[in-house]
Structure formats: C-alpha cells, structure tokens
A = this chain, B = another copy of it.
Amino acid sequence: MKNNANNYSLLNLDERDSAAKLFVGESLQLSGCEVSFNRLAAGEAAPFVHAHKKNEELYIITAGSGLFYLDGEEIAIRSGSLIRVAPAASRAWKAGDNGMEFICIQTEAGSLHQATRQDGIICDAEQPSWAK
C-alpha cells in the first residue's frame, strides 16, 4: 500500500488469488464507494438474499457465469454483464459450472451530482514525462 499525502492510494492485488471476498474501501480510504472483489467456486451461491437501506449496487461480472436473483426473478449473467440494483431490490446469486468472479460497487443512491466533463478540470500546466 502506497499513500501520498492522501491525494492517492495504491493497492496491488495479489492476495486476491486466495480471497473469496475482499473489501478494499478501508485500505484504499475510499470515501464515495465500497468495492469488493468476489470469487465463487462452481455452484457456489450467496448465503442469503439481501437488500439495502440507502445504497445502490453495481455488479460487474468479470469471469465465469451464473444466475442473479432480483425481486423473485432470475436472470442469466456472464462475464461482461453489468447489473445495477436499486437499494430496495432483494438480490442473490449463484455461480455456474465454471465458477464466477465479480466486482461489487456500493454507493449511496442519488449521491452523484455531476461527472466527467461537468466535474473534470484540464490541467494544462502539467505534463507527464511521456508528453514532454
């Protein structure tokens, strides 16, 4: 872990190879989201159905495939599937025959007020070494 005066944090994941679920919010000092990296064996399922009080979740399936339960409906998902889940929706999941990996991003619903061009500032006075 590297940290430069709180302007950034860097974490190089290797330990992920053995972790079934790894939360990185605390170690990275994230203040706008909590993020977890998840790895399920073939046929492995979430231990319970859950919902949220205030937080929206985005699931990014990064490997394998499976099923996602949403408010009583079940949909097929696979590497490349992105699922936004509103706080009140009940959710669970199960990995398919080749297991499944996903990243889950948790944010407070309605908390983003501007992004990208509205929020970005071009720093004309600065250049990285490769642009000089």
**Min distance, Cβ A116 to any Cβ of chain B, angstroms:** 6
Number of this chain's copies in the complex: 2
Residues of chain A in range 64-93 having any CB-CB distance to chain B below 8 Å:
67, 69-75, 77-78, 80-86, 88-90, 92
* B85 & A8 in contact (Cβ 8 Å cutoff): yes
In the docked arrangement, what's the CA distance between A29 and B6, Å? 31
Assuming the contacts A25-B115, A105-B35, A112-B31, asked whether A51 and B123 have C-beta atoms less than 8 A apart, the reply is yes
In the docked arrangement, what's the CA distance between A51 and B122, Å? 7
* A8 & B89 in contact (Cβ 8 Å cutoff): yes
* B16 & A80 in contact (Cβ 8 Å cutoff): yes
Interface residue? A60 (CB, 8 A): yes
Residues of A within 8 A of B (CB): 2, 4, 6-14, 16, 23-25, 28-35, 45, 48-56, 58, 60, 62, 67, 69-75, 77-78, 80-86, 88-90, 92, 94, 103, 105-116, 119-124, 126-131
